[in-house]
Amino acid sequence: MRVLCVVSHPRKDSLTFQVADRFVRGLAEAGHNYEILDLHGIGFDPVLQGADEPDFSAAEQSFSPEVEVEIKRMKEHDALAFLFPIWWWNLPAMLKGYIDRVWNNGFAYGSNRLPHRHVLWIGLAGVSEAQMKKRNYDEMITHLLNVGIADYCGVSHSKVEFLYETLDSDPKHYERLLNHAHHLGLNYAKEPQH
């Protein structure tokens, strides 16, 4: 499979990028091809302007050149992975803006659905698993990504994975997180996804 790995973090030296690196190593070892799309690196503008506003009266529509490039990029891949920090119990604004603009009417929903069967969301959480579950944040985020976004756009296999306690400075803990990311790459689309 060709997997588009969309990374949303402003710093290349972040744990998010280390996780992405380990994840794609696993993908490669499993025989997948991949492309890393660094949203900050390409200077993606997450703000939806008039040219990209969904026109619900049109079956198909043309978008800004920047969005058309990203739609073409998505079409060149069979599957998707998103790697991002969880900020305010949600996607970072950069990644939310990417979905707002690129997963647009007539391409991702409306008269068409995404052609991709698999998407994996890897969210890095500074909190512990217990803290995430305390107010059902894990369920809320998982439901939003799997149902509100992926399923709505026709992606039949969507899975959310959380990497917890990313602010912990213990090198052994970091290595466990990176090993888990590697495992996710090795097993991408092999295990049943929800």
pLDDT value of position 46: 98
Which of the 8 DSSP states describes residue 153? G
d(CA 61, CA 52): 9
pLDDT value of position 192: 52
Closest CA to 82 of 140, 166, 163, 139: 163
CA angle 49, 50, 51 (to 5 degrees): 95
Element (H, E) at 15: helix 15-29
Name the 3-class secondary structure at 189: coil
Contacts of 65 (CB under 8 A, 6+ apart): none
| Virtual torsion, Cα 127, 128, 133, 134, nearest 10 deg | -80
pTM across the whole model = 0.95
Domain segments of the chain as ranges:
2-186
pLDDT value of position 169: 84
pLDDT value of position 39: 98
Residues of the chain with pLDDT under 70: 191-194
Element (H, E) at 121: strand 118-124
pLDDT value of position 52: 96
For 2-186, CATH gives 3.40.50.360
| C-alpha separations of 21 from 6, 73, 177 in Å | 12, 20, 12
pLDDT value of position 149: 98
